[in-house]
Amino acid sequence: MVCNTLREAASVLAEHMATKRDQSISVNVLPEVIREGSVLHEVCEADPRLILCIKTLQLQVEDYGMWAKLILHVEYTDILSSSVVKVESISELREATIYAASLHRRDFRIVYPVHMYEQIQGEKSSLLESYQLLNCYVSGLSSEIKRMEECRYMAQVIHFQYSCSYREWTDRKAKITEKINEIVRQVKLSGIEDWRKAYAVVRYCVNNWHYGRIENSPKLEYTAYSAIINNTAVCMGISLAICSIFKELVIPCRYVRGIRNGEGHAWNMVFLRGGWFYIDVTDAICRKDPLYHWGMVHLLDRTICESGPEVLSCNCTPEFIRKMTCWKCG
């Protein structure tokens, strides 16, 4: 078989390099194909993941007149192409990053179009504040970038820093899963409607959790683990725990952080009956009132540090859940 274009030859070479990691690979081409451009450039265009997999590449050409043999001598890095994720959008980046953190990986490798560089750098700080990464105990992100000249793709190795060891993480995860399942079983007894289950969660928190810090365990109170297992946490831990419980109930929930009275604060937004409501379980716990700051479309006593859901609207009034739970206005 003789390849008619450099792109066709590059696809064959890239497949061998990605799957077989042969140190010497050859393909037959038309002589004029070799003059079309950079072989390495075309190989990485065919499979951008190879940007991180190739250490050095030497090209050898054997001319046979009507056709030529293109031979590549490759030295590989320790990175396998199967461990590199190709992303084409911010949503794909978020999904892949959260998945990597959920496995407590130390390194996460991606390739993406060059035009996404600024977007991805800006998204890193947003990801670090997401409840998914916070619940995986990700405390920091650093990265290394690799780019090939004239290639439409670039690569990045992201390094995760965690606030607990892998053993601690697996132990906490097992305990949290067991406890959340117990809470969910209780909550489901309240009814099948989402608003009933959501209200039952807040009522459970008010009856069982406390706002406070954990002695001899610095910063543990900032985690969902502390709220769910120790029944004590600050606003961040409580809000992260709410996200974990609502996720198990398949009720859309957002972690929201902002400023209240000049200090940092965290709360949630929950999607019920066609719209988003604010709930502040920390305030409800402190007031011993499950309905305190429940079901509000606007909270005037605080500002949000990040954008909330694109559409903040509902098909019912903010007082819906209050009325359905026989709440009486003063």
Average pLDDT over residues 26-51: 84
- pLDDT class of 159 with cuts at 50, 70, 90: very high
- The mean pLDDT value of the chain amounts to 87
Q: What is the DSSP string of 243-259?
A: HHHHHHTT--EEEEEEE
Residue 325 has pLDDT above 90, yes or no: no
Which range in 210-219, 239-248, 286-295 is most confidently predicted, on average pLDDT? 239-248
pLDDT tens digits for range 237-268: 999 999 999 999 999 999 988 888 888 999 99
Domains in the chain (CATH in brackets) are: 2-76 (3.40.50.150), 87-162 (3.40.50.150), 166-324 (3.10.620.30)
Please give the structure tokens belonging to residue 166.
Answer: 């892998």
At 81 the pLDDT is 94
At 330 the pLDDT is 37
- pLDDT class of 123 with cuts at 50, 70, 90: confident
Residue 182 zone, left/alpha/beta (φ > 0; ψ -120 to 50; rest): alpha
How many CA within 13 A on the CB side of residue 63? 6
At 183 the pLDDT is 96
The C-alpha atoms of residue 151 and residue 148 are separated, in whole angstroms, by 6
Q: Report CA-CA distances (Å) from 88 to 8, 122, 129, 153, 154.
A: 23, 16, 22, 10, 12
pLDDT tens digits for range 165-201: 999 999 999 999 999 999 999 999 888 888 889 999 9
N-to-C CA span, the chain: 85
3-state secondary structure 95-123: HHHHHHHHCCCCEEEEEEEHHHHHHHHHH
Question: Whole-model pTM?
Answer: 0.76
Query: Cβ distance 161 to 140 under 8 Å?
Result: yes
- pLDDT class of 311 with cuts at 50, 70, 90: very low
Bridge partners of 108? 158
* 2-3/24-29 β-pairing: parallel
